[in-house]
Amino acid sequence: MLKSRDVTQKSTLDLHGAFVRRTDLSGASLRGANMSKADATNANFRGADFEGAVLNGAILRGADLTGAKNLTIGQLSSAVIDGDTILPAYIDRQKLHSSASGS
């Protein structure tokens, strides 16, 4: 039997190392999620909330991040993206490359 405190406790989504290629996660709350080393190639993250998500080594090649919320250059710099990755309008790809190269 669940106790009331169990129901109100927030859990963090753990996708560490998960294979989520071509998965539709549009509008998902990924707040605080651990996506380290997850393979999200060609996944749909349109409108997803990335506040505090850990993206270290996450593969986002070809992923659609259109309208993603709370996604930072720092988070993306630790992930693997390519020219087919669709970034949210507020992320400048040039600044992302500058950050990743350490300049």
pLDDT digits (tens, 9 = 90+) for 44-97: 999 999 999 999 999 999 999 999 999 999 999 999 999 999 999 999 998 887
3 assigned to some structural domain: no
> CA quadruple 46, 48, 53, 58: dihedral positive or negative?
negative
**Which residue range(s) make up the domain with 79?**
15-92+94-98
pLDDT score recorded for residue 57: 98
Residue at 71 is within a domain: yes
55: nearest Cα among 26, 92, 90, 18: 18
Considering just the CA atoms, what is the radius of gyration of the chain in Å? Answer: 14
The token duo for 51 is 């506040």
- Tell me which of 4 and 34 has the higher pLDDT: 34
pLDDT at 6 over 50: no
**CATH code at position 22:** 2.160.20.80
Whether residue 44 is contained in a domain is answered as yes
The mean-pLDDT minimum among 8-22, 36-50, 69-83 falls in 8-22
Residue 7 in any domain: the answer is no
Does 6 fall in a domain? Answer: no
- Give domain status of residue 83, yes or no: yes
Among 51, 78, 48, 74, which residue's Cα sits nearest to residue 63?
48
Question: Number of folded domains in the chain?
Answer: 1
Instruction: Classify residue 1: in a domain, yes or no.
Output: no
